[in-house]
Amino acid sequence: MLFIMAMALTTTITNALDISLDNTISLEQGTDCQKGAVYRLGTETKYNGKAIDLLLEIMNEDNEYHTLMNKACLNVADGILNTFLRDNDEGDNRAFMDFKISPVAKGTTTSLPVDRITLVGFDLDSTGTATTDTDDIYMKSPTKGYVNSTVSHVTYMEGDFGDGYNIRLKGQSSGDCSDSAGAPDPTCRGGGIASFGTEGANKVDYVYLRVQNDNAYGEESAESKSARLIQISFKKLDIIPILNGTDYGDLPASYGEASHKISIATVLGYGDVADDDSNKEHHSINADADDNASSGSKGNFDDEDAVSIENQEANTSTFFMKIGDTYTFNIGTSGNGYLNAWIDFNGDGDFDDDGEKILDEKAINSKLAMNTAVE
């Protein structure tokens, strides 16, 4: 039987970043639409009180849109980054652009790592005929993978897609759809979230992204003025239309059922959306079945990253505690809500005994970090 005399619980608020573009874009260096071109995307966003921009560098490309149409291959409208693809060279009909996107202090090139970057792809579709293939987005190891739901027809794929890309979001193949921020059509929307950077959690200094269509009309196409449009948003609200799933717990069945609707506004952990468990519970003796759920069309991943004990992650460590000692539990949260927590002190397979609910409707908000003593 384990009895702990006192614990200190620290609630750390992750102020999950919502990046809203201000519709300005400027070419900072290089040649428009060519490899090496760097663009500044203005934003309306501040992070820790500092105004930010996004620097977008074209790392590689095979895209004849600019030369064929005599138009910019990138623009920003209604807070959305528009990317235009068209193939017109010999060989395959593929068109793509690779981007490195970095948050920086406004008006400078000074890196300003942020807690996370949300990437949402709009209008990922096709013509529904042999004229074009699907509009696809590729990512390099997004922290929490793909956010999907039963309403989205975008296909999640894992593998080696070349140039370090290991996640592919393949657009719906059943034809054209009309998806926009003002009129969402979640059947052709998908996305991912990055919350780890080169210096660790909640320090994202850049992300890599590819937009591609494997049959973007081609050299011989009679539709000489046609092109593919893939739209990218960095706003967390734009991922909400595809969030209709449920996240379940994985404690043994004796503890009962625990679940919650997936939300991007109030989150436990590093500020990422929880995984969609496809309406299935994951009861397991060691409470690890949800951790081990493989990735798939519902975007499953180990999302139990909210709690640490004395700076050790609770879901990856075995921690022994002594009677009478005081321990610090750190619980990461994002957004406004109420926090409840339980510990089965006597190990009898339930949370029904006196004192086992250690937090009861504790109000949290996105501005304050709180300490709570539990006797």
**Has residue 151 got a pLDDT over 90?**
no
Weakest-pLDDT range from 169-178, 249-258, 276-285: 276-285
Question: What value does the mean pLDDT take over residues 242-259?
Answer: 76
Question: What value does the mean pLDDT take over residues 245-256?
Answer: 79
What are the b/e assignments for 95-118, b being 16+ CB within 10 Å?
bbbbbebbbbeeeeeeebbbbbbb
Return the bridge partners of 84, or none: 229
Type of residue found at 375: E
Domain ranges of the chain: 6-15+244-374, 21-242
Residue-wise pLDDT tens digits, 314-373: 666 667 777 778 877 777 776 777 888 888 888 899 999 988 888 888 887 765 556 666
Weakest-pLDDT range from 2-16, 168-182, 204-218, 347-361: 2-16
DSSP secondary structure letters along 210-258? EEEETTSB-TT-S-TT--EEEEEE--GGGGGGG---EEE--S-GGG---
Q: What is the pLDDT of residue 289?
A: 64
Which H or E run includes 67? helix 65-69
**Has residue 147 got a pLDDT over 70?**
no
Weakest-pLDDT range from 74-83, 92-101, 214-223: 214-223
Residue 284 exposure: Cα atoms within 13 Å on the Cβ side: 14
Say what the alpha-carbon torsion angle 176, 213, 118, 205 is, to the nearest 10 degrees.
-170
Q: What is the pLDDT of residue 1?
A: 34
- DSSP 8-state symbol, 354: T
Other beta carbons less than 10 A from residue 142's beta carbon: 24
Q: What is the pLDDT of residue 295?
A: 40
Question: What value does the mean pLDDT take over residues 158-184?
Answer: 86
| φ/ψ (deg, to 5) at 66 | -65, -45
Question: What value does the mean pLDDT take over residues 161-167?
Answer: 90
Q: What is the pLDDT of residue 291?
A: 55
> How far does CA 345 lie from the centroid of its chain?
35
Q: What is the pLDDT of residue 97?
A: 98
**Has residue 2 got a pLDDT over 60?**
no
Task: State which of 45-49, 188-192, 344-348 shows the largest mean pLDDT.
Answer: 45-49
Task: State which of 20-34, 148-162, 244-258, 268-282 shows the largest mean pLDDT.
Answer: 20-34
d(CA 20, CA 2): 49
Are 72 and 33 a contacting pair, CB within 8 Å? Answer: yes
Of 52, 198, 188, 73, nearest to 120 by C-alpha is: 188
**Has residue 181 got a pLDDT over 50?**
yes
DSSP secondary structure letters along 294-322? PP-TT-------SEEETTEETTT------
Residue-wise pLDDT tens digits, 89-119: 877 889 999 999 999 999 999 999 998 888 8
Say what the alpha-carbon torsion angle 102, 107, 112, 114 is, to the nearest 10 degrees.
-70
Q: How confident is the model at residue 201 (pLDDT cuts 50, 70, 90)?
A: confident
Residue-wise pLDDT tens digits, 275-288: 555 556 667 776 66
Higher pLDDT, residue 43 or 14: 43
**Has residue 244 got a pLDDT over 70?**
no
Question: What value does the mean pLDDT take over residues 201-218?
Answer: 89
Higher pLDDT, residue 375 or 348: 348
Are 211 and 227 a contacting pair, CB within 8 Å? Answer: no
Mean pLDDT score of the chain: 80
Residue-wise pLDDT tens digits, 288-319: 665 554 443 334 445 566 777 777 766 666 67
Residue-wise pLDDT tens digits, 52-65: 999 999 999 999 99
Q: End-to-end alpha-carbon separation of the chain, Å?
A: 17
Are 195 and 143 a contacting pair, CB within 8 Å? Answer: yes
Helix, strand or coil for residue 336?
Answer: coil
Residue 67 exposure: Cα atoms within 13 Å on the Cβ side: 9
